[in-house]
Amino acid sequence: MYGAQIAFKNFVVTKGISGSDWVGFVHFVRFFNSYEFWRIMSNTIVLSIYTLLASFPFPIILALSLNYVKSQIFKKSVQMITYAPHFISVVVMVGIIIELLDPRNGIVNRLIMGLGFEPVRFMGTPEYFKSIYVWSGIWQSVGFSCIIYLAALSSIDPSLHEAAVVDGATKVQRMWHIDIPGIMPIAIIILIMNVGHMLDVGFEKVLLMQNPLNMRTSEVIDTYVYKVGLASQSMNYSYSAAIGLFKSVINLILLLIVNKIAQTTKQASLW
């Protein structure tokens, strides 16, 4: 927290944090007045909401499905296959995505051309960037994310299912009336924590997937901070720190709001 004051100073390395001059909110105003501000904010917000809405239900669905699988061999095989992508590095994952979607030799375009259509430049089309980012992320993380839901399902009292079976409840009815209410507190906590990272779009993956053709929809706060504040010749540490602090404050506000809503509706909350 001591270093956060760089955002309110013209930080000079030779002067240090304490010796640099105070400038107040100059760097924040500079960011707000930047011609890139609204494009970057809209890209970040849309990508974050898209990721949250698309990725949140899949681990729950996978956990509920695996919970009713009787064959242990099949269950463990599915778990291993869905967990494995989580342990692939981001660099390797992006490389796999680029190879799969290559317009000349990629498997996806090979299938498209086999059906008689023209190849699609997925990575060079700005409109496809968000969907590629989100659904490849789901592929990589869904298996590992469902572990906590499987643990929550294992803590549900088996007598509830036994009583439901005696009453003639189907598997779908047992999921809806027993399993989902049982894991709802955990799901609410995870949702609150995800909202608290709303503007923290994966920097490494976005940066690796960027190219001059899709920059219009792929530039987000984190990549902008890196390019303008750190990668440029001017080394604008104060400017990048101001943008990072602004992002953290917004994340904190969203976290407090969602947590308060959860408290008001008598749901599980962080505090």
Per-residue model confidence as pLDDT tens digits over 11-33: 888 888 888 889 989 999 999 99
Find the mean pLDDT for residues 86-103: 92
Task: Report which residue type is found at 162.
Answer: E
> CA-to-CA distance for 6 and 203, rounded, in angstroms?
22
Distance CA 122, CA 104 (A): 11
The pLDDT assigned to 57 comes to 92
**How many CB atoms neighbour CB 223 within 10 A?**
21
Structure tokens at 139: 């592929």
Handedness of CA 76, 175, 136, 116 (dihedral sign): positive
Would you state the pLDDT for residue 107? 93
Mean pLDDT check: name the lowest of 1-10, 180-189, 229-238, 240-249.
229-238
pLDDT of residue 232: 63
Q: Is 87's pLDDT higher than 70?
A: yes
**Low-confidence winner among 16-25, 221-230, 262-271 (lowest mean pLDDT):** 262-271
Q: Which domains does the chain have, with CATH numbers?
A: 2-264 (1.10.3720.10)
Nearest-angstrom CA–CA distance, 259 and 172: 30
pLDDT tens per residue, range 122-177: 999 999 999 999 999 999 999 988 999 999 998 898 899 889 999 888 888 999 99
pLDDT score for 121: 92
Mean pLDDT of all residues in 188-195: 88
Q: Tell me the one-letter amino acid at 153.
A: L
Least reliable range by pLDDT among 1-15, 82-96, 105-119, 237-251? 1-15
Amino acid 234: pLDDT? 62
Give dist(CA 107, CA 101) in Å, integer: 7
Query: Distance between CA atoms of 131 and 134, rounded to whole angstroms?
Result: 5
- Residue 68 pLDDT > 70: yes
pLDDT at position 50 is: 93
| Residue-level pLDDT at 12 | 83
